Amino acid sequence: MPLSNAQMRDVASVLHPYTNLVKFRETGPMIISHGQGVRVYDEHGKDYIEAMAGLWCTALGWGENELAEVAAEQMKKLAFGHIFGGKSHEPAIALAEKLKEISPFPTGKVFFANSGSEANDTQVKLYWYAANARGQAKKKKIVSRTKAYHGVTLASASLTGLVNNHRSFDLPFDFARYADCPHYYRNAEPGESELQFSARMAANLDALIEKEGADTIAAMIAEPVMGAGGVILPPDGYFDAITRVLSKHGIPLISDEVITGFGRTGNWFGATTYGFEPESMSIAKALSSAYLPISAVLLSPELSDIVEQESGKIGTFGHGFTYTGHPVASAVALRTIEIYQRRDLPGHVRHVAPLFQKRLKALGEHPLVGEASGVGLIGAIELVADKKTKQNFEPAKQAGATLANFAQEEGLIVRALLGDRVALCPPLVITEAEIGELFDRLERALAKSLDWAKKEKLI
């Protein structure tokens, strides 16, 4: 099919992230014209269940007019206002107060940015700043994990443990260290229980810290559920085990809640779901249901105090963005949280998640599916050539991408990730009926994938 006018204009002018830009010239983009609820519509009027909530972010779905009205009202009142040099405005103040109210750990101050990448980049700078304030000049390494995703700025991409975020960018920088990816399905030894696996992951982390020197490590950063690395859930006992190791060495934990925040796992934050208390936390995406770009870093009182003290010592806190605490984005984020509270969105997730997880786990019986796992309203399946041996398809066959394309034909948007893992992360407002329709469409796409695999003699 020839490219439409809009597709040709796009190919000529727009540089697309996470895209093979050479192949893209032939295929062109999928042009989305509008959305309503959990569905988006292409330029031809075809509807798709957006099973990724965009990029893990549009928690309230599309067409939430209350947010549009708040944005318009605030834009008329104060379209822009910064918080540099002692200035402020009500939306930023009220949002910071609200975030402190719902935070899963004692919070001193809130720093605003515009994306999860900027929030995690800020985390690195804050821990370096605090280390210098304490006279700990060597304490600059940050421990991340293999297959972690923490962003794409130079610092946050260094924390990201995915090779495609490093290749040809001269990354990662040498402050980053990587602990093991806690993927039980892929990395457990024969006969090893989840608790035993978690204990081994913790022992390996302990060995890494001993090797590097605890006095050189400023913090560890972790997603409660690893998102772009494959929707990898922590095995039983994992966070209990690693937080004991970190506590032993006096190393704080940063919780990257960019994906798991605001009800995704059935609680307000993933840290609550998995029972740990961080020293700081990064949030973005669902903070405004992605209606406007905004992110935040929540700091413990101790970390807030040391940053304040250092700014007094050197004369300034020399960090911030033009749009830090943007009044329109802040007003929209505040109303978003109020909607979550008013509608008890985490409670809704807990209500519909059993059906979502039941349908998801049932896919584990499909001939192409090796693992099907999730929590709350997030999950993934992994496609394998041999279920018994867990043998993957050859990467060149792009089995995951093929399934995603078949899903798109069926009116379903999913995301293929590394290792032929296919992710699901629908808007949190999804109903049980819509969950049923989502999985009906995915099952039809899997049937097409099975026919394709047989035709290609891959199984």
Which of 193, 390, 161 shows the shortest CA–CA distance to 201? 193
19 found inside a domain: no
95 found inside a domain: yes
Q: How many residues does the chain have?
A: 459
Q: Are residues 253 and 365 in the same domain?
A: no
Largest CA distance in the chain: 69
Q: Are residues 356 and 332 in the same domain?
A: no
Pairing of strands 253-256, 280-283: parallel
182 found inside a domain: yes
3-state secondary structure of 26: helix
Task: Spell out the residues 6+ positions from residue 285 whose beta carbon is closer than 8 angstroms to its own.
Answer: 55, 56, 57, 59, 116, 258, 259, 261
380 found inside a domain: yes
Please report, for the domain that includes residue 446, its CATH number: 3.90.1150.10
The structural domain count of the chain equals: 2
* DSSP letter string, 323-344: TTT-HHHHHHHHHHHHHHHHHT
Burial of residue 320 (CB within 10 Å: 0-12, 13-18, 19+) is middle
Q: Are residues 116 and 160 in the same domain?
A: yes
Q: What is the reported pTM?
A: 0.96
18 found inside a domain: no
At residue 155, the pLDDT reads 98
> Which of 323, 343, 363 is at the close of a domain?
343
The string of pLDDT tens digits covering residues 96-147 is 999 999 999 999 999 999 999 999 999 999 999 999 999 999 999 999 999 9
Which of 161, 44, 133 shows the shortest CA–CA distance to 317? 133
Pairing of strands 412-413, 47-50: parallel
Q: Are residues 276 and 224 in the same domain?
A: yes
Question: Mean pLDDT in each 10-residue stretch from start to end of the chain (459 residues)?
Answer: 91 94 92 98 97 98 98 98 97 98 98 98 98 97 98 98 97 98 98 98 98 98 98 98 98 98 98 98 98 98 98 97 98 98 98 98 98 98 97 96 98 97 98 98 98 96
Question: What range does the domain containing 118 cover?
Answer: 66-343
Q: Are residues 336 and 363 in the same domain?
A: no
> Which of 299, 328, 343 is at the close of a domain?
343
At residue 91, the pLDDT reads 98
Task: Spell out the residues 6+ positions from residue 15 whose beta carbon is closer than 8 angstroms to its own.
Answer: 21
Q: How many CB atoms lie within 10 A of CB 185?
A: 15
> Which of 296, 316, 343 is at the close of a domain?
343
At residue 2, the pLDDT reads 87
Please report, for the domain that includes residue 298, its CATH number: 3.40.640.10
Q: Are residues 325 and 349 in the same domain?
A: no
Q: Which residues are bridge partners to 142 per DSSP?
A: 176, 219
Q: Are residues 216 and 246 in the same domain?
A: yes
44 found inside a domain: yes
Q: Are residues 279 and 415 in the same domain?
A: no
9 found inside a domain: no
At residue 249, the pLDDT reads 98
Measured CA to CA, the distance from residue 52 to residue 436 in angstroms comes to 15
Q: Are residues 37 and 186 in the same domain?
A: no
How far are the Cα atoms of 35, 66, 284, 439 from residue 46, in angstroms, in the given order? 11, 26, 30, 18
Q: Are residues 273 and 173 in the same domain?
A: yes
Q: Are residues 156 and 268 in the same domain?
A: yes
At residue 1, the pLDDT reads 75
23 found inside a domain: no
Q: Are residues 287 and 367 in the same domain?
A: no
